[in-house]
Amino acid sequence: MPRINTINAENASAEQQQIRANVKKGLGLVPNLVSTLAQSPAAAHAYLAFSGALAKGSLSRKLQEQISLVVGETNACDYCVAAHTLLGGKAGLTQDETFAARAAESADPKTEAALVFAQKIVTERGHVTDEDVTGLRQLGFTDGDIAEIVANTALNIFTNYFNHVAGTVVDFPAAPKLAASACAH
């Protein structure tokens, strides 16, 4: 049961209607996350601006989705795992890659290092080591790439926590559950 209600066409202010219209134009639908965030146009605008800026960054869409999946899984956010399972598929992730990303794993060592790093940001509340950062650089990540891994992780922490607080109703197909052993890296 939601703790924060969604905004719909009938109960939206002019600004909330514009937020919904812009998202629908871009995605073809208005996810419950956005409809709920729209209770605060400032929060909705912040999310959309942050998300939009990162979409133009140096990390591939595929890697961004993999980061979203590992962060969502680590934070036990069913909404985000469901959304990013679908979006990850649209970005080119196979079902196996989606499951692997949720467990901070990848057949590509560079991708796996980014996922392990994102997971560590979550579990260690940002307290990573010099070795963690050096390891990313040794695999070819630039300082800008590392900044974007942190930014993508932070954006997903925001949506994970918002969905937990709001009780956002999942409006994407439910993601299959992972085996418990796959969640610990």
pLDDT (tens digit, 9 = 90+) per residue, 29-47?
999 999 999 999 999 999 9
Confidence category of residue 185, pLDDT binned at 50, 70, 90:
very low
37's tokens:
């965030």
Can you give the residue ranges of every domain in the chain? Answer: 61-166
- The CATH architecture annotation of domain 61-166 reads Up-down Bundle (1.20)
Q: Rounded mean pLDDT of 45-57?
A: 97
Which is more confident, 83 or 27?
Answer: 83
pLDDT of 180 higher than 90: no
Give residue 179's pLDDT.
Answer: 76
pLDDT of 131 higher than 70: yes
Confidence category of residue 9, pLDDT binned at 50, 70, 90:
confident
pLDDT of 184 higher than 70: no
DSSP assignment string, the chain: --SSPPP-TTT--HHHHHHHHHHHHHHSS--HHHHHHTTSHHHHHHHHHHHHHHHTSSS-HHHHHHHHHHHHHHTT-HHHHHHHHHHHHHTT--HHHHHHHHTT--SSHHHHHHHHHHHHHHHTTT---HHHHHHHHHTT--HHHHHHHHHHHHHHHHHHHHHHHHTPPP-SPPPPPPPGGGG--
Mean pLDDT of the chain: 95
Whole-model pTM: value is 0.95
